[in-house]
Amino acid sequence: MEFYLPTETGELLAFSSAAFTALAGLFMMFAPGLTFRFFGLGSMEHRPGAIAEARSSLGGFYAGIGLSAILLAQDWIYMALGAGFALAAFGRILSLMSDRGRNPLNYPLLVVQIVLAALPLGYVLGFL
């Protein structure tokens, strides 16, 4: 079995979204303290279980879906990756509107989530 590197532009963009997701997930899994500081979340001294949440829920899931999309390179996995980021972006929009989440970090993260959703969805749906 060989490693597949896409040659089409659309698939390469979807692959790039998956690669970024996998790298972000691995970073979150192996550096939960830096992840919490970057996102401005509470200190982990008050809740030691927060490290497990960062490693598994954030890092493990992102790394898993990103690596699955990279290794399998199937349309349905790209669809799952794009749909997940699209719903995450929708959740962030809801937070901006109703949870007083209008801090300076939420806007760039919203843009990142929209781009990470648009690249694989655009490829699968035939726009790229």
- DSSP secondary structure of 3-57: PP---SHHHHHHHHHHHHHHHHHHHHHH-HHHHHHHHTPPPTTS-THHHHHIIII
pLDDT digits (tens, 9 = 90+) for 5-48: 898 999 999 999 999 999 999 999 998 888 888 887 766 666 77
Cα(82)–Cα(96) distance, rounded to whole angstroms?
21
pLDDT of residue 44: 62
Distances in whole angstroms, Cα of residue 68 to Cα of each of 18, 60, 112:
8, 12, 20
pLDDT of residue 45: 65
Classify burial at 64, counting beta carbons within 10 Å of its beta carbon; exposed 0-12, middle 13-18, buried 19 or more: middle
pLDDT exceeding 90 applies to what percent of the chain? 60
Distances in whole angstroms, Cα of residue 71 to Cα of each of 19, 64, 103:
10, 10, 36
pLDDT exceeding 70 applies to what percent of the chain? 95
pLDDT of residue 5: 86
Cα(81)–Cα(121) distance, rounded to whole angstroms?
8
pTM, two decimal places? 0.88
pLDDT of residue 1: 63
Distances in whole angstroms, Cα of residue 15 to Cα of each of 9, 45, 116, 125, 126:
10, 37, 10, 15, 15
pLDDT digits (tens, 9 = 90+) for 69-110: 999 999 999 999 999 999 999 999 998 899 877 888 889 999
